[in-house]
Amino acid sequence: MAILPILCYPDPRLHKVAQPVQAVDARIQSLVSDMLATMYDAQGIGLAATQVDVHERVVVIDTSEERDQPLVLINPEIVWASAEKVVGDEGCLSVPGIYDGVERSSAVHVRALDEKGVARTIEAEGLLAVCMQHEMDHLLGKVFVDYLSPLKRNRIKTKMLKQQREATRA
């Protein structure tokens, strides 16, 4: 298992649309393993392949308190979303230190393949539902800041670019 570098906003690669996984093979299983290691190392609750510059439809999530219940979603699709919405503060491993309110469906049903290639449908609500929607947005080339006003988005972009410049000087 390798810790992969996570792309940081406003990297244009975060806006690439991910392609469907053609086969759940050893390469994809290795990617899943590396993504889980990367997510746990970064203390996140979700990670999309797009964030590690792999543009295939793979997501890993673990919202458990003990951090021992990984969920793997390959080629995920939302097959049902509740009309009821919730607004919660979201953060992102690709936008470190930034949190803001985003409106999401409070519950979703997601169909996907697991790490063995077995199809399943997951019924999620609360934090898991929000996390699934957030990570699946990454597969479409969307970052949570895209939901914010242009003013907020530009402030975040400026702050992130400044942090990246300072990090390269250090």
Q: Which two tokens stand for residue 153?
A: 């988005």
Choose, from 56, 90, 115, 135, the residue flagged as catalytic. 135
Does the annotation list 109 as a binding residue? no
Phi, psi of 58 (to 5 degrees): -135, 135
What string of DSSP letters covers 75-102? EEEEEEE-S-EEEEEEEETTEEEEEEEE
The residues pairing with 143 across neighbouring beta strands, listed in sequence order, are none
Does the annotation list 92 as a binding residue? yes
Is 125 an active-site residue? no
List, as residue ranges, the binding site for Fe cation. Answer: 92, 134, 138
Indicate which residues carry an active-site annotation.
135
List, as residue ranges, the binding site. Answer: 92, 134, 138
